[in-house]
Amino acid sequence: MIEEPPPFEIVRREDFSDVTYLLEVRHPEMARAARPGQFVIVMSHEAGERIPLTIADFDRDRGTVTLVIQAVGKTTREMQRDLVAGARLHALVGPMGEPSRLDGFRKVVVVGGGLGVAPTYPIARGLKERGAHVIGVIGFRSRDLVFWEEKFRAVCDELILCSDDGSVGIKGLVTLGLEQAMSAHSDIDEVVAIGPPIMMRACAATTRPKGLRTVVSLNPIMVDGTGMCGGCRVKVGGRIRFACVEGPEFDAHQVDFDDLMFRLARHRAAEKVALERWQQGCRLEAQAVPARA
């Protein structure tokens, strides 16, 4: 009798920094179905929180899906502590959302900032596979936080690396790299920008004067991922849209970023309390462990 591998097994874990880590999860069906721009909902254990994560990569031959996570709250820090190679997720649902539009473009600028770098990679790869000239602009706070530079160089015709402190690439925000790309190329068809809302808003402001089509991937609060809870609603073009089923990608020039950031901030107090309680529990557990003789 052939023993089946455990479902949602983590086959590889890689730490990019003290807060950013990668999980490669075995899920052959999802790997076959995944498309750039889509996301999944993850539960690390039975009583865990449901969190949406954009797919950072997928490998149909290996039957795996890759997630890049930043440990900022209680759940993501708990996952960072507990999820190592050989462990498994309690649940992994997806792929969800509308995939990125990749066909029909001759030249595209793909911009990723911080953790937003990871989900831009499959988009850049997909565009390159379809014959587009891809200009990558990726930004980090410093050299120590850079990841996947070589992966991007393999799928981009040009790569502009930015850092806040100037320790690698050009010194400045990704908008500086975007401006550089726009100055060098007058025939850009589209800009795709993924990162923190304030970064995506800045990219939209950079391209708006030229009327350059710009797409962003939104990350509102999400529970069920099917449009039923309404938690993912965003304002786009003066209308309410549901990011989990109509997005996550939208026209950047139509997005109400002020409303998005207000909604993201509404639960910060509760999130802070949850993190503090979890950290206190961790400290109590550590104190309860008897000292070795």
How many domains, in total, are found in the chain?
3
DSSP H/E element including 249: strand 249-251
Q: Let me know how many helices (H) and strands (E) the chain has, helices first.
A: 9, 16
Beta strands in 71-157 (DSSP E): 91-96, 107-113, 133-140
Are 208 and 229 contained in the same domain? Answer: no
Are 92 and 120 contained in the same domain? Answer: no
Query: Does the residue 1 lie in any domain?
Result: no
- For 139, the 3-state DSSP assignment is strand
Query: Does the residue 155 lie in any domain?
Result: yes
pLDDT of residue 293: 46
User: C-alpha angle 177/182/186, rounded to 5°?
Assistant: 160
Are 122 and 211 contained in the same domain? Answer: yes
Query: Does the residue 188 lie in any domain?
Result: yes
Question: What is the chain's pLDDT, residue by residue, as a tens digit (293 residues)?
Answer: 455 556 789 999 999 888 889 999 999 999 999 999 999 988 888 888 888 888 999 999 999 999 998 888 888 888 899 889 999 988 888 898 889 999 999 999 999 998 889 899 999 999 999 999 999 999 998 888 889 899 999 999 999 999 988 888 899 999 999 999 999 999 999 999 998 889 999 999 999 999 999 999 987 777 766 667 767 778 888 888 887 788 889 999 999 888 888 777 766 666 566 666 766 667 666 666 555 54
Query: Does the residue 292 lie in any domain?
Result: no
Are 70 and 86 contained in the same domain? Answer: yes
Query: Does the residue 236 lie in any domain?
Result: yes
Sign of the alpha-carbon dihedral angle for 248, 251, 253, 255: negative
Cis peptide before 28 (omega within 30 of 0): no
pLDDT of residue 291: 54
Are 120 and 208 contained in the same domain? Answer: yes
Query: Does the residue 180 lie in any domain?
Result: yes
Structure token digits, residue 230: 């309404």
pLDDT of residue 51: 85
Q: Which residue has the tokens 């790869």?
A: 125
d(CA 84, CA 96): 25
Are 225 and 281 contained in the same domain? Answer: yes
Q: Which domain holds residue 136?
A: 107-217
pTM of the model: 0.85
Q: Which amino acid is at 117?
A: V
Phi, psi of 58 (to 5 degrees): -150, 145
- For 89, the 3-state DSSP assignment is coil
Are 226 and 153 contained in the same domain? Answer: no
Query: Does the residue 89 lie in any domain?
Result: yes
* Domain termination residue (choose one: 51, 77, 96): 96
Query: Does the residue 102 lie in any domain?
Result: no
